[in-house]
Amino acid sequence: MSAPSRPISLVLGALGGQGGGVVVDWMTRVAVASDWLIQATSVPGVAQRTGATIYYLELFPAAALPADGRRPIMALMPSPGDVDVVVASEWVEAGRMIQRGLVTADRTTLIASTHRSYTVAEKSHPGDGRSNPAAIREEAERAAKALVAFDMDALATRNGAVISAVILGAIAASAGLPFKREAYRQAIRDNGIAVEANLRAFEAAFEHLAAGKAGADGGESRQQAAEAAVPAAFSERIQGEFPEAAWSLLRLGVARLLDYQDLRHAALYLDRLQSIAAVDTTPGSDLLKATAQGLALWMSFEDTIRVAELKTRPERLAQVLRPSSPRPGAIVELTDFLRPRVEEICGTMPAGLGAWLRSSPAWRRLLGRWTGGRRIRTSTISGYLFMRSLAGLKRWRRLTLRYREETAAMEAWLAALHQAAATDPALAVELANCQKLVRGYGETHERGMARFRQILAGAISPADGISPAEWVAEQRARALAEVPSP
């Protein structure tokens, strides 16, 4: 690479806990050791997942400095159209970099991780608020001079490291900077943080890109892995009893319900869908696919048992520890915040007992002492055993009040789909899609269920001048947008 006449500019967008500051430290060590000038600045993002911290680096070789002692004037922040390398530690952050105008087709190499860490707006959306990854890729390919995209998070996980080390490997392999590979390795050693794991992840990323795998996801996708985990008996049943257009979706549904409950629960899922498939006359099996997606979500409803199970899984602990990378022997304390209501407490009890206690004012007052904000230290023996005991109620979930009530609501929904499919297939599809309103737990679940029941009841006789299918679609869109109906 010839000596530049201006500083090389690099922007890194990293989420909290991903080690963006560590990447800047490594790059500073690499530049100084290579006799380059470097200036680094940052603008912190908002906490959690509403935005990324933006790190900006400018680099200039000392060997190219003029003899008269002049030094380059380096900027504190990037300017649109004036950035050589943009690195995004998550896929939507790559889209945000493009939106800011920092990625240009005549100049910028865009290095991005294709994994998703959903934003607060995506998670809080009543329906499916996820950004479209395909649209981001299309825009990235158009906007960048060169695109290097793969699942950095998965590669980091496989190598027991934080994503920062993979980012450094991607920069070393793809950014076109004139630094030797050993300089990056030495920077990791000199930094002294999780050296072995970070070196391993750095080498994995470098070799992944050196092998010409830019643009690949760096391994089997989560969807492929979930489908592959489905027992052969279920796969054979799906292929023998259902149209091919729905096979992939049905396998994902079965995988979800096996994880949620057991073989019997997954078999019930297919039993229920078999009757829908028998009456589905829509092109492309649209009714079956919409019902399969909604039913899998509904049959894995979130209750206190599920919450406790997820919070005590080993992979959850690993996920919590990974961003902080505690040193061996360090003591880590983990506190979970719970806000149970009387309804959640009663819903976990045997159906008859739970219904009776919930309807009793005296017992509601007594149970109310256990509601409100609760802090459970799951890193202690007592806290962990409490949560594991609650998760252990999974084997008796079918006896609980919550299971009975959710099952009754599901059966009413499926009956409505059967009835609509016989006379108005378009209405049946719209009613199937209304399951998107039933989500979460607590008050969120109650609000969604109330709107769901209102639409289900009103679909029989909608207002004049509009078809039932159009009315349901309109009401669902209003509910998902949280706009009150007139």
Read off the pLDDT of residues 261-306 as tens digits, 9 standing for 90 and up: 999 999 999 999 999 999 999 988 999 999 999 999 999 999 999 9
Q: Could you tell me where the DSSP H helices lie in 263-400?
A: 263-279, 286-298, 304-311, 314-321, 342-347, 351-359, 361-367, 381-391
Predicted pLDDT at 252: 93
Most confident of 71-85, 100-114, 459-473: 100-114
289-to-170, 357, 377, 404, 449 alpha-carbon distances in Å: 39, 39, 41, 25, 21
Query: What residues does 41 pair with on adjacent strands?
Result: 56
Token pair 């002692």 is at which residue?
69
Beta strands 109-113 and 85-88 are parallel
Predicted pLDDT at 484: 42
Q: Which residue has the higher pLDDT, 334 or 320?
A: 334
Token pair 């994503």 is at which residue?
163
Q: How far is CA 363 from the centre of its chain?
A: 39
Structure tokens belonging to residue 286: 């649209």
Q: Closest Cα to residue 27, out of 156, 194, 169?
A: 169
In whole angstroms, give the CA distance from residue 94 to residue 114. Answer: 9
Provide, rounded to the nearest whole percent, the portion of the chain with pLDDT above 90: 53
Q: Which residue has the higher pLDDT, 70 or 441?
A: 70
What are 174-184's pLDDT values in tens digits? 988 999 999 99
Domains in the chain with CATH codes? 8-210 (3.40.920.10), 232-288 (no CATH), 304-397 (no CATH), 400-486 (no CATH)
Three-state helix/strand/coil letters over 220-246: CCHHHHHHHCCCHHHHHHHHHHCCHHH
In whole angstroms, give the CA distance from residue 209 to residue 207. Answer: 5
Contacts 24+ apart (CB under 8 A), 391-398: 391/305, 391/308, 391/309, 391/312, 393/305, 393/348, 394/261, 394/305, 394/309, 397/261, 397/303, 397/305
The least confident of 23-37, 75-89, 449-463 is: 449-463
Query: What residues does 112 pair with on adjacent strands?
Result: 88, 149
Residues 6+ apart with CB under 8 A from 69: none
CA quadruple 89, 78, 173, 199: dihedral, nearest 10:
-60
DSSP annotation of 461 reads S
Beta strands 8-14 and 53-61 are antiparallel
Q: Could you tell me where the DSSP H helices lie in 144-221?
A: 152-158, 163-174, 181-191, 195-210
Contacts 24+ apart (CB under 8 A), 229-233: 229/255, 229/258, 230/254, 230/255, 230/258, 231/258, 231/263
Predicted pLDDT at 117: 82
Residue 335 backbone phi and psi in degrees, to 5: -120, 125
Q: Is the pLDDT of residue 211 over 70?
A: yes
Q: Which residue has the higher pLDDT, 55 or 132?
A: 55
Max Cα distance, the chain (Å): 89
Predicted pLDDT at 251: 93
The least confident of 239-253, 294-308, 460-474 is: 460-474
Query: Are the CB atoms for 144 and 103 separated by under 8 Å?
Result: yes
Query: Are the CB atoms for 215 and 148 separated by under 8 Å?
Result: yes
Q: How far is CA 445 from the centre of its chain?
A: 20
What are 6-51's pLDDT values in tens digits? 899 999 998 877 888 999 999 999 999 999 999 999 988 654 445 6
Q: Is the pLDDT of residue 2 over 70?
A: no
Q: Is the pLDDT of residue 477 over 60?
A: yes
Query: Are the CB atoms for 455 and 100 separated by under 8 Å?
Result: no
**Model-level pTM greater than 0.75?**
no
Q: What is the edge-to-edge ordering of all strands in the sheet holding 146-150? A: 36-43, 53-61, 8-14, 85-88, 109-113, 146-150
In our burial notation (b when 16+ CB lie closer than 10 A, e otherwise), range 298-317 reads bbbbbbbbbbbbebbeeeeb
Predicted pLDDT at 470: 87
Q: Is the pLDDT of residue 323 over 70?
A: no
Mean pLDDT of the chain: 87
Residue 256 backbone phi and psi in degrees, to 5: -65, -45
Token pair 């294709």 is at which residue?
114
Provide, rounded to the nearest whole percent, the portion of the chain with pLDDT above 70: 89
